[in-house]
Chain A
Amino acid sequence: MNSFVSLLKRIFRFYYEGFTTMSWWGKRIWTILLIKLFIIFLILKLFFFPDFLKKNYRTDKQRSEHVLEQLTKQH
């Protein structure tokens, strides 16, 4: 248990030191990365990209029926 905690501490320290001693470009890149992830997951995914089938149909059965309908459309 002690060795596991010590391993976790070492991993934490490894990342902590890595981030705190980062160069200017590293910090800038991380800022861009975080803004980008925020835009992708909290803006695009939430407001612009809902899963169409999950949003409009409650069960997998309903979803498969909808797709089956689309696949068998005759023209």
Chain B
Amino acid sequence: MFESFDLSLVDWSRAQFALTAVYHWLFVPLTLGLSFIIAIMETIYVRTGNEEWKRMTKFWMTLFGINFAIGVATGLILEFEFGTNWSNYSWFVGDIFGAPLAIEGILAFFLESTFVAVMFFGWEKISKRAHLISTWLVAIGANLSALWILVANAWMQNPVGMVFNPETARNEMISFWEVLFNEVAVSKFLHTISSGFLLGSMFVVGISAYYLLKNREILLAKRSILIAGIFGLLSSLLVIYTGDISARTLAKAQPMKFAAFEALYEGKERAGLVAVGVLRESDRKIGDKAVNDFVFRIEIPGFLSVMTGGSPETFVPGISDLVNGNPERGLLSVSEKMERGRIARDLLIEYKEARKINDTEIAESIAATFRDRKFNEEFFRYFGYASIDKPEEVIPGVKVSFYTFHVMVMLGFLFILIFSLALLFLFRGTLRKNKWFLWIALFSILLPYVASELGWVLAEMGRQPWIIQDLMPVTTAVTHVSTGSVITTFILFAVLFTILLIAEVSIMIRQIKIGPKN
């Protein structure tokens, strides 16, 4: 991009952010899912008065507490990184990003953290009902926290509800509701929290399977599998359903990402969905980027078209259509978008010059143009393309997008099978006999973590080169600090987070081995 630009700075800054986000996301989804499972168990305790349910609730609450305490505040580092390493981005989006994050901090986090204390210290000190309400509020608070973070992230994927103010060089929110009900935000939130429910359920099923293998805590394990099996099965169906909605939303908001995760180069009607496939770089190229061909694939004919538009006749644009344009289908080429982006940028340069010479009349007239809806729809929405040198730069890593998406989807279907088998064996009374399944359930604890992290890799790497879709590429967003300092903090984080993770896992394993109190 920029001639004197140190690309390794961008790469290291991205790697640093990715490392922090990946580690942070190891703690979050368990909080989202386990909190609801605990609340369901405690509800049964309050309704039945059966002390065994209370014992179960307390045991899972202990594991929840370990995860919550170790994971809490790890996300704050991401906010530090915005200010230090992504300062241009941070300033550019400030008002839009700030609002949901402030609500998250004030409302959801305080709700969550206040009632966590009541949940842990309040047994026998407040009424059963008040304690139960606290537990539910922790679950709701945790998920509300996720809502605001995901709203902010969804805006980066699909920027809506704002207008750019050239005087402050910031985007300003003009519709809070448009930002909140951004279709990417809605589908992302539902998909993410349901995947957290799934992960929490697998965690409970896996640890319960461990107890059954060890021939101890049989009643607790079976009841836990009953709750987590049902909750997990419903969640995994919800994950598939919301994933389908997400894909349809992406096809509209981020068609390049959508085409990349299916490795679809030539757009077509009756496009098939690849169930399994292996890619290989071919000799064909788009600009200087090699086209990936399938070595082999198993495809569901026409299903991608159905998924996208509800009918096999729906045209799904491919990567070539999106780069070179397809006038028949109303698709602009990247070159055309670059031209429009440059018009918006040149107007911003004119504004800057007018301000320098104190020509308020011209400056005001340009500022008014930036508020104009038509200008925004036709030119400013392509602002980021002004920083693109070659059209093929907008193609994300196709192999990464393809494999992360397909492994995630395959795991999604595997989870349905595992929860179904857990319930089937439980109802038949053969759970303890099927040791092979108990071992699979135990080791499957790791799989939802893999699927969840892959989902984020797909979401974030699939939209490259953008930090804000079409408005700002990562190269413009990054702060010009020394690459060495970014590498230093990368190593620091790697060490800090690894220590935290080891602490969590070791305390948790110890607590699981001790088991619930009698």
Contact = CB atoms under 8 A, between A and B. Distances in A.
A37 interface: yes
B158 to A, nearest CB: 20
Contacts of B120: 18, 26
A72 interface: yes
Interface residues of A, number: 37
Q: How large is the interface on B (under 10, 10 to 19, 20 to 34, 35 or more residues)?
A: 35 or more
Contacts of A44: 77, 80, 489, 492
Contact of B387 (A37, A52, A75): A75
> Chain B at the A interface: mostly helix, strand, loop or mixed?
helix
B424 interface: no
A28 to B, nearest CB: 6
Contact of B83 (A33, A51, A60): A51
Contact of A72 (B91, B349, B511): B349
A4 interface: no
A11 to B, nearest CB: 10
Contacts of B420: none
Interface string A48-69: 1111111000001001110111
A30 B476 contact: no
Interface in B81-108: 81, 83-85, 87-88, 90-92
B168 A64 contact: yes
A17 B352 CA distance: 61
A68 B503 contact: no
A32 interface: yes
Given A44-B80, A52-B83, A25 B66 contact: yes
A26 B125 CA distance: 18
A45 B387 CA distance: 31
Contacts of B88: 67, 70-71
Interface string A6-49: 00000000110110000001101110110011011000110011
Contact of B87 (A39, A48, A53, A68): A53
Interface of A: 14-15, 17-18, 25-26, 28-30, 32-33, 36-37, 39-40, 44-45, 48-54, 60, 63-65, 67-75
The 5 closest A-B pairs by CB, nearest first: A18-B121, A49-B80, A52-B87, A51-B83, A64-B169
